[in-house]
Amino acid sequence: MDKIIVRGNGALNGQIPIAGAKNACLTLMPATLLSEEPLTLTNAPRLSDIQTMTTLLQSLGAEVSSLQDGQVLAMSSHDIHNHTAEYDIVRKMRASILVLGPMLARDGHATVSLPGGCAIGARPVDLHLKALEAMGASLELKEGYVHAEARGGLKGTTFEFPFVSVGATENALMAATLAKGTTVLKNAAREPEIVDLAECLIKMGAQIEGHGTSTITIQGVDRLHGATHPVVTDRIELGTYMLAPVITGGEVECLGGTRALVGAFCDKLEEAGVSIEETPTGLKVKRTNNRVTAVNVETEPFPGFPTDLQAQMMALLCTAEGTSVLEEKIFENRFMHAPELIRMGADIEVHGGTATVKGVDHLKGAPVMATDLRASVSLILAGMAAEGETVVSRVYHLDRGYERVEEKLSACGAHIERVPE
């Protein structure tokens, strides 16, 4: 197991290339199960979660090849000989549940273990199952597995999600492409990853309208064909690296970034005193004063402030001028990074889903422990702004969502290295 050592050493300057979106790629990969023809994804991120999904698809009979240093995934599902997604693979990643809808839609049956993932609160799959039941699937939960059947094929329906769920929208969207008739998904998620999935499915021959809005209409077709599709830029990696020059000083251009991906996040940064300039190749970011100004943050579904940038934003606000209040409204138990930031000298009080952060003059390096994916990178950001040395342990979380983080930050002047524990 590795650890990362960060030494605060002032401003960062340069360019950081932003990878393809982890959450988009993990959704696009199961789409290969909808067709017997090849699906090729370009701009794929090189992450451990992508390897986990690769292993899962291969266990079902799909062929998955990683090309061009992992940035191209060539997939083919012409011979799906196994319809059971086993616990040993699925437990590693909650996105594994996304093979359920495609297999059920194409072949009329699937058995999928209940998934695992980050320990940041309950992420039940009941909405996935309710949407598929509305399309005519017969479901049974037995010994930790979802046993699903639709022997006569799925049927179009109108289904309204009781609350917005990205994963459930994705599963239902994929399943509906091969259902008989028209499916209308109401209160659907609007995230860029949903739009990216829909665009890929349209290239494969699906008939979809309304993606990017809260009502998506899908006219089922008999079959889908192959396609080549570029994975959308990772908006969470984008937001994370936008914070690097804000928390340390300097100016960094995030290559491939667009404001449309992180609009609410940009608004908050500008409110705090950050300059964001759109360039022909990305977003250029710098702070306008020595210290940023405290701001209040409330996480919301897209297009609101992303829950996946809350931990990183907290790291920034630890040294802001004034007091900030962060309200986490998406996931419970998502302030586990707060005690670690307190170890570095931050002044944070957590009560339920609210964290109050009183800005301090500076942070001090300390040994800290990553508790989940986004918390791990928030501690690295804090370490770059802290006096002395910060040692972040349990960084296997980091590798699930950020590719080559040490290389990208070092190229801009950060003192960061990975060493064995």
pLDDT at 116: 56
Annotated ligand binding at 107? The verdict is: no
Residue among 25, 118, 318, 412 flagged as catalytic: 118
360 in a labelled binding site: no
- Asked if residue 368 lies in contact with residue 378, where contact means CB atoms within 8 angstroms, the answer is no
Please indicate if the annotation marks 9 as binding a ligand. no
Residue 239 identity (one-letter amino acid): G
Q: Give me the numbers of helices (H) and strands (E) for the chain, helices first please.
A: 14, 24
Provide the CATH topology of domain 2-19+233-420. UDP-n-acetylglucosamine1-carboxyvinyl-transferase; Chain (3.65.10)
pLDDT averaged over every residue in the chain: 94
Least confident of 7-11, 58-62, 254-258, 283-287: 7-11
pLDDT at 330 over 50: yes
pTM for the model stands at: 0.92
Check if 254 is active-site.
no
Q: Give 252-293 pLDDT, tens digit per residue.
A: 999 999 999 999 999 999 999 999 999 999 999 999 998 999
Tell whether residue 367 is among the known ligand binding residues: no
Closest CA to 236 of 373, 363, 90, 387: 373
Residue intervals in the chain for CATH 3.65.10.10: 2-19+233-420, 22-230
d(CA 31, CA 46): 19
**Average pLDDT of 380-385?**
96
Least confident of 50-54, 87-91, 303-307, 318-322: 87-91
pLDDT tens sequence across 184-225: 999 999 999 999 999 999 999 999 999 999 999 999 999 999
124-171 pLDDT, tens digit per residue, is 688 999 999 999 999 998 888 999 999 899 999 999 999 999 999 999
Strands, sheet with 227-230, edge to edge from the N-terminal-most edge strand: 63-67, 72-76, 39-42, 227-230
Question: Average pLDDT of 27-40?
Answer: 98
The answer, yes or no, to whether residue 361 has pLDDT greater than 90, is: yes
- The answer regarding whether domain 22-230 maps to CATH 3.40.640.10 reads no
The yes-or-no verdict on residue 371 having pLDDT over 90 is: no
Residue 397 pLDDT more than 90? no
Q: Is 69 annotated as a binding residue?
A: no
